[in-house]
Amino acid sequence: QSALTQPASVSGSPGQSITISCTGTSSDVGAYNFVSWYQQHPGKVPKLIIYDVSNRPSGVSNRFSASKSGNTASLTISGLQADDEADYYCSSYATTSTRGLIIGGGTKLTV
């Protein structure tokens, strides 16, 4: 199974909003609302910031929002802050014979 497709990098200025896309297929992103997003600062452990396409775990800022349309999911970060500079990964449950997880290639956000 191929990785989900994400842009390699995005950038924005403090206070602005950015959106990161995550494109899969009808066998993963498009199949169920089982898309998650993770934030990883350099040298740190990935942190779950979105699950089930658009839900935030407790403690995650409401500046993070997400959605899905067809085979493409999107993460939007509003009111960019310096600390948002990190790598972001999407993942999806896959309905292929493996029925496992598939993770995107990651997007480096520069603020």
Partner 1 sequence: QVQLHESGPRLVKPSETLSLTCTVSGGSISSYYWSWIRQPPGKGLEWIGYIHYSGTTKYNPSLKSRVTISADTSKNQFSLKLTSVTAADTAVFYCARTNMVRGASLDFWGQGTLVTVSS
Name the residues that contact partner 1, by CB under 8 A. Answer: 1, 3, 32-36, 38, 40, 45-48, 51-53, 55, 57, 87, 89, 91, 93, 96, 98-106
Residue with Cβ nearer partner 1 (20 or 53): 53
Contact partners, residue 15, CB within 8 Å, separation at least 6: 79, 80
Question: Tokens 């992103």 sit at which residue?
Answer: 29
When the beta carbons of 47 and 63 are compared against partner 1, the nearer one is 47
DSSP strand E in 1-111: where? 9-11, 18-23, 35-40, 47-50, 64-69, 72-77, 86-93, 101-103, 107-110
End-to-end Cα distance, the chain: 32
Nearer to partner 1, 78 or 95 (CB): 95
